[in-house]
């Protein structure tokens, strides 16, 4: 969670202006007051970005809501406020239309989710909101993290994914360039092969298959097979090099490996995250609770002809 030095929060996220940034500040301030870890702020902001684009919305079907300060009028069932909370289970209109109180309601529910701090944003948000579109929160994660960083004055430094990437071996640079060319492609389970996206996109290992095909290295289309195929593993973060494949396990064991990304240096990783998201660069995996806790190690694939 960080923002570029000197960044104006109102200019960080397209479509998020001063009024919405003010609402975001109220959400974060409430999280701080409640002692919620930073990961929770990001989950809350991503949720409100998806539900209301950070606008405190009244509802045309809830006349009482129109009596409160608002930044627009929606019409989704009886949902109101920043988090589009409904009457059933969330409380009265006055509470839901108060940005701080609605944020408190959200955080209270989040704290009841077992292990929420290690869950993907999409999963954590969905367990609180029970949305009809559970994958929609994912696309807001990076924007939420950047906005939270700007609001709290947490600046990204060279060690936090904003410095220049270290030079890579020329062969590996070709791999990185090929993978980076696919940014924006949708995540598709089992998607991707040596020739490009399949089924409309990539999954995490399919992206590795495609990237390394550039230099003739066959990468298995399965995360645990990637781990076993390119041993010995590298478990010291300081020893990682651009082009290493970083792997993540939900139990600290090879049998729990479920995700892989292409390490770029300075804590940055190119990956295809999950359903509802797209191929993108994760700017600082070591300050992200989810990735730092689940990192099991990395493997290094090299073209024998280039060794």
Q: What is the pLDDT of residues 149-171, one digit of tens each?
A: 888 777 665 444 444 556 668 88
The secondary element (H helix, E strand) that includes residue 44 is helix 38-52
CA separation for the pair 23, 39 (Å, rounded): 18
In this prediction, residue 4 has a pLDDT band, given cuts at 50, 70 and 90, of low
**Average of per-residue pLDDT across 231-242:** 92
Highest mean pLDDT among 72-76, 240-244, 277-281: 240-244
In this prediction, residue 238 has a pLDDT band, given cuts at 50, 70 and 90, of confident
Q: The pTM is what?
A: 0.58
Express each pLDDT in 71-86 by its tens digit.
Answer: 999 888 889 999 999 8
In this prediction, residue 304 has a pLDDT band, given cuts at 50, 70 and 90, of very low
Q: Are 130 and 110 in contact (CB under 8 A)?
A: no
- Token code pair at residue 89: 């289970």
Distance of CA 65 to the CA centre of its chain: 32
CA separation for the pair 58, 305 (Å, rounded): 64
Q: What is the CATH number of domain 159-306?
A: 3.90.1720.10
CA separation for the pair 287, 291 (Å, rounded): 8
128: helix, strand or coil: helix
């Amino acid at each position: 969670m960080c923002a570029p030095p000197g960044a104006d929060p109102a200019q960080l996220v397209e479509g998020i202006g001063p009024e919405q940034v003010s609402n975001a500040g109220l959400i974060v301030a409430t999280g701080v007051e409640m002692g919620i870890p930073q990961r929770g702020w990001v989950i809350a902001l991503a949720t409100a970005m998806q539900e209301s684009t950070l606008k405190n919305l009244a509802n045309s079907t809830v006349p009482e809501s129109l009596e409160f300060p608002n930044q627009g009028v929606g019409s989704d069932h009886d949902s109101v406020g920043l988090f589009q909370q409904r009457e059933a289970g969330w409380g009265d209109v006055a509470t839901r239309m108060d940005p701080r109180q609605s944020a408190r309601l959200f955080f209270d529910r989040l704290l009841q989710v077992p292990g929420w701090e290690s869950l993907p944003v999409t999963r954590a948000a969905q367990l609180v909101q029970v949305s009809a579109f559970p994958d929609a929160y994912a696309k807001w994660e990076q924007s939420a993290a950047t906005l939270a960083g700007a609001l709290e004055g947490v600046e990204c430094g060279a060690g936090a994914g904003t410095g220049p990437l270290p030079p890579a071996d020329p062969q590996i640079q070709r791999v990185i360039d090929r993978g980076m060319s696919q940014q924006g492609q949708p995540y598709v389970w089992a998607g991707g092969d040596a020739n490009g996206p399949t089924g409309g996109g990539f999954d995490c290992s399919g992206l590795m298959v495609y990237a390394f095909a550039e230099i003739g290295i066959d990468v298995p289309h399965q995360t645990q097979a990637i781990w076993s195929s390119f041993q010995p593993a590298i478990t010291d973060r300081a020893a990682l090099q651009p082009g290493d494949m970083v792997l993540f396990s939900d139990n600290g064991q090879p049998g729990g490996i479920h995700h892989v990304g292409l390490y770029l240096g300075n804590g940055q990783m190119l990956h295809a995250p999950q359903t509802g998201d797209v191929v993108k660069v994760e700017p600082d995996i070591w300050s992200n609770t989810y990735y730092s806790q689940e990192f099991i190690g990395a493997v290094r694939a090299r073209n024998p002809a280039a060794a």
